[in-house]
Amino acid sequence: MNRINFERFFETEKQKIFGTDFFADAEDYEAWDEIDFESQEDIPGEQTFEVKAEDLKYYAAGVLDDNPFMTDEEYARNSPYGGLIPHPVFLTQITFWCIGVKGRGNWIRTPGARNPGQEVEIYEPFRVGEIIHIKMRPHDRWIKRKKYYLNYKIDFYNQDNVKKACWIVELVLPKSKEDIRKFIKGIRGVEV
Amino acid sequence: MEKLTFDSLQVGDALPSISHTVKQETFWKYAVGSFDYNPVHCDPDWVSTAQPFGIPQTVAHGMMTWSFMVTVATNWAYPSTATITKITSKFLRPVPAGTTMTCSGIVSEKHVIRPGKHFVVVELKAENQDGDLLGVSQAEIVFPE
Amino acid sequence: MEKVTFDSVQVGQALPSLSHTVSQETFWKNAVASFDYNPVHCDPEWVATAQPFGIPQTVAHGMMTMSFMVSVAANWAFPAMLKITRMQSKFVRPVPAGTTVTCTGVISEKHVISPGKNFVVLELKAENQNNEILGLCKTTVVFPD
């Protein structure tokens, strides 16, 4: 996938660091039939996310939203919000960053995964300057109409352990490592 | 009925259905059984003008329709010592006396968690003699290890 | 924009809609914005054979379609200092490049709890140029008064 040039779109610091090849480590992605539901422990992400103005602004632009509360620092500073506020679905950027590549939760990167819909609760909007860490755990796993669903519950906390949001991240996945390998090779590994 | 195990179940499996023809007397007996003496179920005189549902007949308790649907699930689950942990319902049409209600269900989802916590979701429905949907319900049923 | 109060809003009220025509470049930029470089959005060559959705084209990120829908809510809520607390989405159809996504929203429920806890539910929808539904999103918006 390195044949696609994303660099021309990069503007933020994190974008220059985060890897763009979702195939490279796909052999290590958690497969649907391998998820451990036994442990009741919270799992941390691979890294934390420091919220910067450029992150919020780029996300809004990435979803074609020019809302000044999300994109115009001066406008937002002079508003009752006192500063930029994120697009409510901004936590997508936080999630992919924090989950990283090799750690638990990396099934969200699986080539061949399909997004059926999501459920998010926001307690307090993320603000510039906060350092976010996540705690996640397997939540549910099921088969419906020949599709294999998995979700994890992810809680988002700031540096003071204030809970900011909760996302039950859900995808339809290839069933097993074998099916993921088909997708890595460019062959369909799920029923449609 | 042989004991069901979580592994033996398949999404799409149909549960045995049941049928009841309901009358005013059924509604009265349910009122006594539930302490719900609301006149919409019990008082034909009152209902002929008050018409909360826009029809001049008494109607079945929603909770009775729901109970019928859930019976489909308990008939299927209890002999295998499975437990019903969560049920939701939606009542779509009023059920006047004289209705023959047929309730059926299918296994719609299989949740593979871990032994003792695996569960299925069963989609239940109640239809009248014309095939119109009277109500729907979802039940989560946990299977023992 | 005039002040929006809980008392002033009505069930059935429509929110201003928005429209975006998406291209492969939109998908690439959204990949960078979200760190989601899944090839189903980014790699036309791979998708031509892998076809996770059974079609040979790349498709929009579900989270981008959801973001479009939620923008309809945010455009309304942010200037009035209302708080978006919950979003529940469903992605109904894949969105290939070239689609014009039009998002609309309507206030569907008014929940009268107590000042500071009152909220409305918005039903948001994304459709393509043929009026087919691409996605739906239910959003809870809490009023400060």
Nearest to C31 by CA among C51, C59, C68, C71: C59
A57 interfaces chain C, CB cutoff of 8 Å: no
Tokens 């539930």 found at: B34
C-alpha span between B56 and A16 (Å, rounded): 70
> With 60 as the cut, is the pLDDT of residue B78 above it?
yes
> With 90 as the cut, is the pLDDT of residue B121 above it?
yes
Write down the pTM of the prediction: 0.90
Task: Provide the 10 A C-beta neighbour count for residue A117.
Answer: 15
Burial class (CB in 10 A: 0-12, 13-18, 19+), A98: buried
Domain residue limits, chain B:
6-142
> E-assigned strands of A118-162?
119-122, 131-144, 147-157
- Inter-chain Cβ pairs, chain A and chain C, closer than 8 A: 164
Contact C122, C138 (CB under 8 A): yes
Chains A and C touch (3+ CB pairs under 8 A): yes
> With 90 as the cut, is the pLDDT of residue A155 above it?
yes
Q: What are the pLDDT digits (tens) for C63-94?
A: 999 999 999 999 999 999 999 999 999 999 99
pLDDT at position C46: 96
Neighbours of chain B (3+ CB pairs under 8 A): A
Q: What are the pLDDT digits (tens) for A21-48?
A: 999 999 999 999 999 999 989 999 999 9
Which one is the CATH code of B6-142: 3.30.465.10, 3.50.50.60, 3.30.1950.10, 3.10.129.10?
3.10.129.10
Q: What are the pLDDT digits (tens) for C37-62?
A: 999 999 999 999 999 999 999 999 99
Q: Which residues of A touch B11 (CB under 8 A)?
A: 143-146
Query: Which domains are delineated in chain C?
Result: 14-142 (3.10.129.10)
Interchain contact, C74 vs A88, CB within 8 Å: yes
B104 interfaces chain A, CB cutoff of 8 Å: no
Give chain A's length.
Answer: 192
Q: Which residues of A touch C84 (CB under 8 A)?
A: 88, 122
Provide the ipTM.
0.91
Share of chain C above pLDDT 70, in %: 99
First to last CA, chain C: 18
pLDDT at position C2: 63
A140 interfaces chain B, CB cutoff of 8 Å: yes
pLDDT band at A1 (very low <50, low <70, confident <90, very high): very low
Query: Which domains are delineated in chain A?
Result: 41-184 (3.10.129.10)
